[in-house]
Amino acid sequence: MSLKDLKVHAAAPEEEEEEELVDPHDVLKEKCTATSTCTALKEKLDECSDRVNSKSNTTETCYEELIDLIQCVDHCLEKTLFSKLA
């Protein structure tokens, strides 16, 4: 018997499909950003960004608009995020 005559049969292991983990923070952050209050602030930030990007020389930044949006999302998140982590 030579090596050519030997056949190796390896059983393919059955793979269980693993459920992909989803970060509750990311899910809730998207939901909070979609609220009417935060959407209005996001639009203001987008308008500011467009205005700043359209100018070649400006000292204007969109810092306040960004902070307002972040605070809106954080305020929304604080109501529900910690209950999801427990």
Out of 4-8, 29-33, 53-57, 65-69, pick the least confident: 4-8
41, with CB counted inside 10 A (0-12, 13-18, 19+), is buried
C-alpha R_g of the chain: 26
d(CA 79, CA 86): 14
- Residue 38 clears pLDDT 80, i.e. is over it: yes
- Tens of pLDDT, residue by residue over 43-83, are 999 999 999 999 989 899 999 999 999 999 999 999 887 77
What integer best gives the mean pLDDT of the chain? 85
Q: Is 21 helix (H, G, I), strand (E, B) or coil?
A: coil
Of the candidates 84, 85, 73, 81, which has an alpha carbon nearest to the alpha carbon of residue 30?
73
* Beta-carbon contacts of residue 81 (< 8 Å; ≥ 6 apart): 24, 25, 28
What's residue 85's pLDDT?
A: 66
Q: Other CB atoms closer than 10 Å to residue 68's CB: what's the count?
A: 17
